[in-house]
Chain A
Amino acid sequence: GENVEQHPSTLSVQEGDSAVIKCTYSDSASNYFPWYKQELGKGPQLIIDIRSNVGEKKDQRIAVTLNKTAKHFSLHITETQPEDSAVYFCAGTGRRALTFGSGTRLQVQP
């Protein structure tokens, strides 16, 4: 089955700086890679995703890059704001359910 590893586990940045979270996956059949943001006491919220036929996708301050050869993908948040503080999860999927990384706790210092 799929195994997804995520780094770092915690990340602290100053407001306005960029944040980068990296994930690797094991199953070469995986072809869909979503990112979720989870705020305290809430369910995970889908914020961006990328499919294997695309190398990069951007949505305002958030971007995701995918390197299928190396089996890794990254989340980039630019111009961070305090409301970006949350736990972020990457995930990969082949044919069945999503397998999640262990999460990154992002703290944006005002």
Chain B
Amino acid sequence: NAGVMQNPRHLVRRRGQEARLRCSPMKGHSHVYWYRQLPEEGLKFMVYLQKENIIDESGMPKERFSAEFPKEGPSILRIQQVVRGDSAAYFCASSPEQGNTEAFFGQGTRLTVV
């Protein structure tokens, strides 16, 4: 039973390029959450999705960032026109239900913008 899979583990992009981060939830999990972690800091909520629906995007920057969780395939976090301040670790978590239930994290994607 594979855990939450994120890829790539490391991603380097030049300023102005696009970054695409993928997350495959655990088998049987239909709820996906994306978090951002800056070095030596905590986990900041970005967006919560169910299949084909964005439930809560209150933590997403208004511009350049978008997320989707299609009916088939992984969840995608997309960052357009990356800037140096986007450099961070991006973690995905999944859970079988909404709210008060166990959420399991992937190993993260470390994005470096040069």
Contacts and interface: CB of A to CB of B under 8 A. Distances in A.
Contacts of A1: 58
Contacts of B101: 32
A32 B107 contact: no
Contacts of A46: 102-105
B45 interface: yes
B99 interface: yes
A42 to B, nearest CB: 6
A100 B44 CA distance: 7
A98 B56 CA distance: 12
Contacts of A89: 42-43
Given A89-B43, A98-B33, A102-B42, A43 B102 contact: no
A34 to B, nearest CB: 7
Contacts of B98: 95-96
Interface residues of A, number: 24
B48 A96 contact: yes
Interface residues of B, number: 26
28 contacts: A32-B100, A34-B103, A36-B105, A42-B107, A43-B4, A43-B6, A43-B105, A43-B107, A44-B43, A44-B91, A44-B105, A46-B104, A49-B102, A51-B100, A89-B43, A93-B99, A95-B98, A95-B99, A96-B48, A96-B98, A98-B33, A99-B45, A100-B42, A100-B43, A100-B45, A101-B42, A103-B41, A103-B42
Given A1-B58, A36-B105, A96-B48, 17 more contacts: A31-B100, A32-B100, A34-B103, A42-B108, A44-B43, A44-B91, A44-B93, A46-B102, A51-B100, A93-B100, A94-B99, A95-B98, A95-B99, A97-B45, A99-B45, A100-B42, A103-B41
